[in-house]
Amino acid sequence: MDKVNRILYDKEYLFYLENIRLLEKDRSFCRHDFEHFLTVARLTYLFLLEEGCRFISREMAYSAGLLHDIGRWKEYQGGGDHATISARLAGSILERAGFNHCEQELIVKAIAQHRHDAPGEHRSPLSSALHKADGMARLCFSCVSRKDCRGLDRRPHRERLLY
């Protein structure tokens, strides 16, 4: 997991995490911190294993999870959709981590697609697993802010622990 471990110490990555932490300081809804990233990373890999997908490496699955929301801070500052921003910011981090061009492309596309159900849009197994992992990573059924959360209306499957 050398490439994934490089991401953990990447200065840009840590800078984005810190920006998100500061901007979510007073947020009552769930945050986009390292714990969320790691949960999504682990679930992404688990779903790929369940699907029997062999050509996506564990490092790719983890990297997609660890990077999928890094652009949140820009969205808070009015910069646009965080999935698109995160995909853009992920490129140079993946390059420095040592992923080849093909791997980078698959991970970046999965990050760009992680947010919405897009029927008809082509998704790689990594993209589908990341989207599903992000949806299942929150414990909405036990959340104290659930009555005010718009996310739960849009994603009713979060009421459940498993699909």
CB-nearer residue toward Fe ion: 103 or 134: 134
Min dist. Cβ of residue 82 to Fe ion (A)? 6
75 binds Fe ion (CB under 5 A): no
Contacting range for Fe ion; rule: CB under 5 A; set: 49-57, 98-106, 121-129, 130-138: 130-138
Min dist. Cβ of residue 102 to Fe ion (A)? 24
Min dist. Cβ of residue 126 to Fe ion (A)? 15
* Closest to 109 in 3D by CA, of 159, 60, 53: 60
Positions 86 through 125 that interact with Fe ion (CB under 5 A): none
Min dist. Cβ of residue 80 to Fe ion (A)? 13
134 binds Fe ion (CB under 5 A): yes
CA distance 42 to 39: 5
CB-nearer residue toward Fe ion: 14 or 98: 14
Extract the tokens encoding 2: 């050398």
- Using CB under 5 A, which of 16, 44, 45, 69 touches Fe ion? 69
Residues at the contact surface with Fe ion, assessed by CB under 5 A: 69, 134
